[in-house]
């Protein structure tokens, strides 16, 4: 079954790298017009270069979703450029490990503002536009850390757990408008976020081996494997999927050990 986004417009936050970039690319391949939002202009330019075969159907908007005004800006610019908004993919996210006694207020604010506040207010401004389009979909990116507690990750778990429950609450409010809200809960994925985490470890190779050993399938995910589920949830192929939290984690959260 091939998904079809012809005539549809999607907005992807955190769309310049990792899961967001793979999702944007896949949506373009399925016929969508896509706006990718990200904090780094340099990463935005590189993303556009990598997707230059879709020129005319993709736009980069520099924005920091921790700022409410930027959450509004990315929605407004999407509608201004392409005339409508059908799908919002909230992929912007950050991670800093640390035990609770090590977490600073600045680190707490940074993770909560981008991961949770950014998702909340991007949805706030997207909902009226998706409603005008006759309905559509919102897919939020939570985490396995938004389902079960992870060690050394109190703030990250708090931010992602909030997204999981927020997704379900928002889904109930907007289902009557034919807007489906769901979230995906990935395990570890080969992204720049993981690379940055590994760079701060004293023995990165062993850290990766230990991480992989926790997965029943013996591997961690590629960004495209998560993007495929995001695109499915954003598509008209999933009309009865509402308020769900899809685990895309290689069986990690199915384990009891």
What's the angle, vertex CA 25, arms to CA 23 and CA 26, rounded to 5?
Answer: 65
Is 145 within 8 Å of 153 (Cβ atoms)? Answer: yes
Contacts of 69 (CB under 8 A, 6+ apart): none
d(CA 206, CA 200): 13
Residue 153's nearest CA partner among 105, 111, 183 is 111
Instruction: Considering the candidates 108, 125, 156, 215, report the single residue annotated as catalytic.
Output: 156
Contacts of 220 (CB under 8 A, 6+ apart): 187, 188, 189, 190, 194, 211, 212, 250
Is 125 one of the catalytic residues? no
Q: Which residues are marked as active site? A: 156
């Amino acid at each position: 079954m091939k998904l079809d986004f012809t005539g549809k417009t999607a907005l992807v936050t955190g769309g310049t790298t990792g899961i967001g970039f793979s999702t944007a690319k896949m949506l373009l391949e399925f016929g969508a017009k896509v706006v990718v939002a990200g904090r780094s202009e340099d990463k935005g330019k590189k993303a556009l270069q990598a997707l230059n075969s879709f020129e005319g159907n993709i736009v980069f908007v520099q924005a920091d979703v921790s700022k409410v005004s930027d959450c509004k800006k990315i929605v407004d610019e999407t509608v201004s450029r392409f005339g409508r908004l059908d799908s919002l993919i909230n992929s912007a996210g950050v991670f800093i490990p640390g035990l609770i006694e090590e977490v600073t207020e600045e680190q707490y604010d940074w993770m909560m503002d981008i991961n949770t506040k950014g998702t909340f207010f991007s949805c706030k401004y997207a909902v009226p536009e998706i409603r005008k389009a006759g309905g559509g979909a919102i897919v939020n990116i939570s985490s396995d850390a938004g389902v079960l507690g992870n060690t050394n990750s109190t703030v990250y778990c708090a931010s992602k757990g909030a997204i999981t429950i927020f997704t379900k609450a928002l889904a109930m409010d907007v289902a009557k408008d034919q807007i489906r809200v769901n979230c995906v809960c990935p395990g570890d994925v080969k992204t720049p976020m993981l690379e940055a985490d590994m760079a701060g470890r004293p023995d990165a190779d062993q850290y990766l081996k230990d991480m992989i050993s926790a997965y029943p399938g013996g591997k961690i995910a590629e960004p495209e494997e998560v993007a495929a589920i995001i695109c499915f949830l954003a598509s008209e192929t999933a009309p009865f999927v509402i308020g769900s939290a899809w685990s895309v984690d290689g069986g990690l959260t199915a384990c009891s050990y």
